Structures are given as C-alpha cells and as structure tokens.
C-alpha cells in the first residue's frame, strides 16, 4: 500500500510539472517566421466551460496567412482555441501582409492578416472571391508598438526622434557618434562605429506603418510614399520581422524595426522616441494603447479600417504603432470554413482573446472599436 501511494504521488507530481511546462511554453510564444499550426483530436462543440470559447459551427481545418507582426499573438490564440475546440485545426502561415492579401484574393485561405488596410484595388479583387456581392473587409484585431531595436555595445539606452530615424534608414547618418544622435543622448558614450540598418525585404505592413510615421513626422527627411515595399536606398534586407530582429541581435552597430514582441523575445534594446512630449516615450503596450485609443474608424459599412495619429505629441503616447487587421468577406465566405472563421475571430476579438495580448508585447484594441469588431464578426456570412 505504501509503494502504491508513493507511485500515485510521484505520478501526480509529474503531471503538475508537465502542465506547468505546457503553460510556460504557451506564455512564451514564438519569435520565428514559421507557421503557427497544430492539430487536436475530438469534435467541435458548444461553449467550453473552462475557457468560454464558443466552438459552435467550427469544424475541420482552417488555413490563414499573412502578417508576421501578429505571429506571436496568433500562436497563443491558435493554441488556446484548439485546446478548447477539439477536432478543429487552425493553420496560420506567418509570411507578410502582402502575401496574405494575395492568398486571400486567390481564395487560398479563410482569412488573412494584414498590418495595413486593404487598398481600393485589393477590395475590387476581393469581390471575385467573396460570393453574392460580398467584399473583403478590415477587422482590427491586435495593435502594438513598432520597436526600433538596436545593438550597440556599451550603450543601454538610446533616444531618437523621427528626423534622425529617417536619416539613419536613408543612409544620411552613417555613424553612431553622429552629432544628431549625440545631441539627443547627452552624456552617452556613443562609439565611432558604422551604423548597420536592417529593413524588411518583402512587402510588409510593418514597413508601411513605419513609412506613415516618418511621412507624418519627418517629411523633409522621408520623401517616400507609405508603401509595403521598402522605398529607401541602401541598408540591408531580411525576410521577416523575426529575421530583422535576429540580424540586430547578432550584429554590433545594428538597428532595425519590428514589433515589440520580437524585441521582448530576443532581449533586444529598443529606442525611446522623442515626440515633442514632456519626456521621451518608451515602446510599451501601454504607451501604444494610448496612441491607438485616439484612432478613428475611416472605413464605411462593415469595413473597420482605422485612421491613426502618427504625429501625436500626447504625453506617454507612443505613436509608432500598427494595427493588424484580419481580412474576411463581409458575405460570401466559403461555406466549409465560415463557421470556423466566425468562431475563431469571435474568440480573438473577445475579452479572453484580447486580455492575453499585453503580456505578449501587444496592445488590445480599444473597447469602443472592439465592440464594433465583435458585432461585425457575428454578422459574417
């Protein structure tokens, strides 16, 4: 009897360790650019009592792709959702916003992720795959700061303003001890070291949002249109946010831009922005939320595209932000995946899906906007 009791206690302890390990892995997310996917057995059902995730209508496999900016959030969402909705497989391929929209408009995926709203020509193309007069719409799902990450041995903190960032990424400022940088960092021991600036190689909504910020705040030094394709000469290119972050992490003298979650995952130092506010603003989910809270809906009908104020000087507001949209048909979604799309996006837009974002380096969508997202998701056809 004593031996049996000892065995039972040992099995219980091992079970607790296994569960704790699984929860730790869930909280960590991922910093690579592979697809966040997996499988789970069983059958779809009604509300899961433990998680409050509604699985009604969800079944089979759902393919999605696009923004790598939301990958770490999507990894957590997919893991939690599939644990609750047995027998449903969500396969999200984190590539780029441009590739996701192309895949959506070629009817290859149930929804796409994009860090910028659909252009008029992309909406027109979506009407070919959204049956019954439907079209692609923008559903803001996750926000967050675009961090300017740097790796400079001996320098632990760095303040930059928009004109200086623009000059760095256009190659006009070439060394870390440049007068413009030194002026913003009084007392810092800046080395006489060449700057190595990294940018995204493929079409990227992160690139476009950086361009919108620089265009709004440093027009004289950033004369380029805000497009997904990197516009400036020079610099070094890397495929995705995780690849840019990896290059910055391993290269002394490097600087790059990527979502805060990648900086957090790889312990990369980030720039504080001199916006003209009372003090430089750090890249944090809370400070990004202050900027996103001022966003206005510019879309019409069921489209919820947002207009962001990249030039805000409000104290504590970090203006270099992005909002990632999930792109779906307002009506005419594919019948075999519509139930899963609605169920999954209902979870991601719900309280349970949004509350996990801050710990992963993201900013939840402001409540007023998020209420409209939930209403629109519920009405998808």
Strand partners, 258: 147
Q: Is the separation of the CB atoms in 361 and 264 below 8 Å?
A: yes
Supply angle C-alpha 343, 345, 348, rounded to 5.
Answer: 115
Residue carrying structure tokens 């779906």 = 328
Digits of tens for pLDDT over the chain (381 positions)?
433 433 433 333 333 333 333 323 233 333 333 333 333 333 333 445 457 899 989 999 999 999 988 999 999 999 999 999 999 999 999 989 999 999 999 999 999 999 999 999 999 999 999 999 999 999 999 999 999 999 999 999 999 999 999 999 999 999 999 999 999 999 999 999 999 999 999 889 899 999 999 999 999 999 999 999 999 999 999 998 999 999 999 999 999 999 998 999 999 999 999 999 999 999 999 999 999 999 999 999 999 999 999 999 999 999 999 999 999 999 999 999 999 999 999 999 999 999 999 888 899 999 999 999 999 999 999
Spell out the residues 6+ positions from residue 152 whose beta carbon is closer than 8 angstroms to its own.
Answer: 158, 176, 190, 191, 193, 252, 253, 269
- Which pLDDT score, from 0 to 100, does residue 52 have? 85
pLDDT at residue 158 in the model: 98
236's enclosing H/E stretch is: strand 236-238
Closest listed residue to residue 346, CA positions, set 328, 363, 321: 328
**Parallel/antiparallel/unpaired status of strands 272-274 and 61-66:** unpaired
Q: State the Cα–Cα distance between residues 255 and 194, nearest whole angstrom.
A: 11
Structure-block tokens of residue 160: 């930059």
Per-residue pLDDT tens over the stretch 271-296: 999 999 999 999 999 999 999 999 99
Question: Which residues fall within 8 angstroms of residue 77, CB to CB, at 6 or more apart?
Answer: 344, 347, 348, 353, 356
Would you state the pLDDT for residue 359?
A: 83
CB atoms within 10 A of CB 337: 21
The 3-class secondary structure across 359-379, one letter per residue, is HHCCECCCHHHHHHHHHHHHC
- Could you give the CA distance from residue 114 to residue 129 in angstroms, rounded to a whole number? 18
Separation between Cα atoms, residue 340 and residue 54, nearest integer Å = 10
Collect all residues with Cβ–Cβ distance below 8 Å to 378 and sequence separation of at least 6. 342, 346
β-bridge partners, 203: none
Pairing between β-strand 159-161 and β-strand 236-238 as defined by DSSP bridges = unpaired
Query: What tokens does 356 get?
Result: 């996990």
Cβ-in-10-Å burial (0-12, 13-18, 19+) of 128 comes to exposed
Q: What share of the chain is helix, strand, coil (3-state, %, to 5)?
A: 40, 20, 45
Taking the alpha carbons at both ends of the chain, their separation in whole angstroms is 61
Closest to 276 (Cα-Cα) out of 239, 252, 311? 311
Q: How many angstroms separate the CA atoms of 161 and 218, rounded? A: 9
Number of Cβ atoms within 10 Å of the Cβ of 252: 11
């Amino acid at each position: 009897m004593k031996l049996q009791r000892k065995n039972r206690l040992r099995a219980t302890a091992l079970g607790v360790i296994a569960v704790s390990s699984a929860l730790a892995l869930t909280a960590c997310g991922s910093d690579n650019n592979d697809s966040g996917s997996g499988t789970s057995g069983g059958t779809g059902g009604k509300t899961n009592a433990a998680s409050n995730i509604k699985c009604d209508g969800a079944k089979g496999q759902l393919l999605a792709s696009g923004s790598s900016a939301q990958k770490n959030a999507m990894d957590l969402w997919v893991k939690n959702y599939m644990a609750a909705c047995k027998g449903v497989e969500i396969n999200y391929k984190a590539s780029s916003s441009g590739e996701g929209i192309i895949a959506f408009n070629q009817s290859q995926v149930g929804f796409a992720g994009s860090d910028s709203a659909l252009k008029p020509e992309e909406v027109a193309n979506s009407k070919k795959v959204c049956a019954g007069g439907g079209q692609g719409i923008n559903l803001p799902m996750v926000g967050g700061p675009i961090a300017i990450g740097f790796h400079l041995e001996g320098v632990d903190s760095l303040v930059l303003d928009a004109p200086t960032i623009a000059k760095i990424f256009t190659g006009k400022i070439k060394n870390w001890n440049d007068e413009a940088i030194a002026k913003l960092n009084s007392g810092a021991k800046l080395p006489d070291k060449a700057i190595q600036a990294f940018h995204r190689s493929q079409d990227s909504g992160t690139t476009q949002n950086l361009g919108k910020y620089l265009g709004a705040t440093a027009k004289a030094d950033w004369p380029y249109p805000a497009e997904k394709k990197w516009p400036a000469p020079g610099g070094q290119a890397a495929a995705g946010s995780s690849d840019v972050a990896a290059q910055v992490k391993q290269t002394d003298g490097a600087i790059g831009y990527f979502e805060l979650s990648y900086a957090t995952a790889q312990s990369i130092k980030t720039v504080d922005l001199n916006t003209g506010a009372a003090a430089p603003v750090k890249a944090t989910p809370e400070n990004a939320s202050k900027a996103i809270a001022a966003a206005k809906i510019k879309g019409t009908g069921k489209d919820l595209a947002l207009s962001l104020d990249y030039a805000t000087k409000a104290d504590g507001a970090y203006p270099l932000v992005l909002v990632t949209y999930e792109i779906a048909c307002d009506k005419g979604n594919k019948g075999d995946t519509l139930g899963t799309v609605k169920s999954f996006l209902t979870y991601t837009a719900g309280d349970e899906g949004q509350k996990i974002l801050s710990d992963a380096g993201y900013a939840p969508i402001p409540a007023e906007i998020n209420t409209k997202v939930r209403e629109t998701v519920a009405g998808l056809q």
